Amino acid sequence: MNGVRMFLAKRILIVVGSCLLAGWVGCDTKKPPAAPVPSVPVAEVTIADVPIHRDWVGSLEGAQNSQIEAKVSGYLLSQEYAEGSFVKAGTVLFRIDPRPYQAAVAQAQATLAQAQAKAELAKVTFARQEELFKTTVISAQQYDSSRLDRDAAVAAAQAAEASLEDAQLNLSYCTIIAPFDGIAGKAQAQVGDLVGQGSATVLTTVSQVQPIKVNFFLSEQEYLRAGETLAREISTPIEQRKRILEIFLANGVLYPEKGIFDFLNRQVDPRTGTIQVVALFSNPEMVLRPGQFAKVRVHVATFKDAVVIPQRAVNELQGTYYQVMVVGPDGTVATRSVTPSERTGSDWVIKEGLSKGDRIVVEGWQKLRNGMKINPKPYQAPAPKSSPSPTPSPQAAHPVPSPGYDAPANPVLQKMQTDALGAPSPQGAASPSPATR
């Protein structure tokens, strides 16, 4: 009897304990808290007039480039110009030892004098023979012989005159001059060198840099789109062409002068699929030099009242489909397809899909889904990165002037340096050291 009572008591305790445990668990179980509404950068679409540009990499070249060669052989006597300086047309650059050619001229002059004397004697003799022939004193054979002697003597005098001109021309080649205004480069021969022996010797190169050429290349597709405009510009007289080209130099500074189209090359290069375009830029201060690289920019159109949004707000799918997240009045986001047009800086012009007043998610759209609510916060566009100023070398910080030459101030170069490095220190203030610049 006691065993039955103990068994029933244990069963009751188990049942009661189970019920109490179930009640305790049930009471302490709570629903999970709702996810917080994310704060997402949002921007309203901008309506603005957007200028559209096209950029290409270009290289600078002299409007004319002449290799100055020795046309006659001889020893180089002197160099008459400063390397890298501006020279006017006709400026003497080099002199070659003229003595052998002066002797050749003297010899040619003497030969010419002899030939002219013989020609004069032949003319006088023929005039006498002609009178005698008229009176039948001499035969026809004697008359013809005298006439032919005269013609031969005259021809010999003419040949001697040509030889003299050739000798004088060779003598003139001993003085080598600049063919046009330009910058004369480094000398390729030294005083005392034997030049012009066997083949022409390049002594230096002169480049015309005012104006200066800029070469750049259009793809075949770009050429087909712009061919009509290019043809119209190039067919216009050069003084009436529009200055619509700009160049940015290697330091990122915009060159102050605008350029014009000069010419379009005759064919598309089959190896690269591009066609060469040449522009002309005024270079009065000769800041631009052959061999420099520059970014060429052309204004092609202006979109009026265009819809503009940041590029980072656009979700590009396989380069074909483009989407943005549009924020509704209640903070709910929805995906919308858009048709982009031109890129301008860090923004994108939207052709279709958005209108004035629409708000879009700029950052964090990858974590959002249709129908989600967000807490919009104003989008702050990042400040443009400024390239650090280069640390000047000791030579650049303390340039050594050339003996006997003071470089003139160049206002265009000074302005470009100010734009790139900032305003100069006031006069009298201590200049910052390279480490603090």
Helices H, strands E: what count in the chain? 6, 20
- 288-to-59, 66, 206, 294, 341 alpha-carbon distances in Å: 11, 18, 15, 10, 35
Same-fold call for 42-49+305-378 versus 98-172: no
Helices marked H in 135-247 — which ranges?
A: 140-172, 220-235
Rounded-to-integer distance, Cα 328 and Cα 290, Å: 57
Left (φ > 0), alpha (ψ -120 to 50) or beta: where does 191 sit? beta
Which has the minimum average pLDDT: 56-65, 238-247, 278-287, 402-411?
402-411
pLDDT, tens digit, 9 for 90 and up, residues 162-218: 999 999 999 999 999 999 999 999 999 999 999 988 777 899 999 999 999 999 999
The CA–CA distances, whole Å, from 103 to 70, 97, 162, 168, 196 equal 19, 12, 16, 10, 19
- Cβ neighbourhood burial of 330 (10 Å; 0-12, 13-18, 19+): exposed
Domain limits, the chain: 42-49+305-378, 98-172, 208-301
Rg (CA), the chain: 44
| 280-318 tens-digit pLDDT | 999 998 899 999 999 999 888 888 888 998 988 888 887
Tell me: pLDDT of 90 over 80: yes
Domain 98-172 part of CATH 1.10.287.470: yes
Using CA atoms, how far apart are residues 359 and 376, in angstroms rounded to an integer? 9
Q: What is the mean pLDDT of the chain?
A: 81
Q: Span 235-257, mean pLDDT?
A: 91
User: What are the distances in angstroms from CA 368 to CA 40, 165, 335, 364, 375?
Assistant: 10, 90, 10, 7, 12
Which stretch of 183-197, 228-242, 412-426 has the lowest confidence by average pLDDT? 412-426
Q: What is the mean pLDDT of residues 145-173?
A: 93
**What is the value of pTM for the model shown?**
0.65
Percentage with pLDDT > 70 across the chain: 79
Q: What pLDDT, on a 0 to 100 scale, did the predictor assign at position 436?
A: 38
Q: What is the percent of the chain where pLDDT is above 90?
A: 42
CA-nearest of 99, 49, 20, 44 to 304 is 49
Instruction: Tell whether the model's pLDDT for residue 396 goes beyond 50.
Output: no
Look at 371 and 110; give whichever has higher pLDDT. 110
CATH code matching the domain that covers 42-49+305-378, chosen among 3.30.830.10, 2.40.420.20, 2.60.40.1080, 2.170.270.10 = 2.40.420.20
Distance CA 87, CA 183 (A): 6
Q: What CATH number labels 208-301?
A: 2.40.30.170
**Residue reference for tokens 């480049």:** 207
Residue 130 predicted with pLDDT over 80: yes
What distance, in Å, lies between the first and last C-alpha atoms of the chain?
A: 104
Let me know if 420 is exposed, middle or buried by CB neighbors in 10 A (0-12, 13-18, 19+): middle
The pair of structure tokens assigned to 156 is 């010999």
Token pair listed for 1: 């009897």
Asked if the model's pLDDT at residue 268 lies above 60, the reply is yes
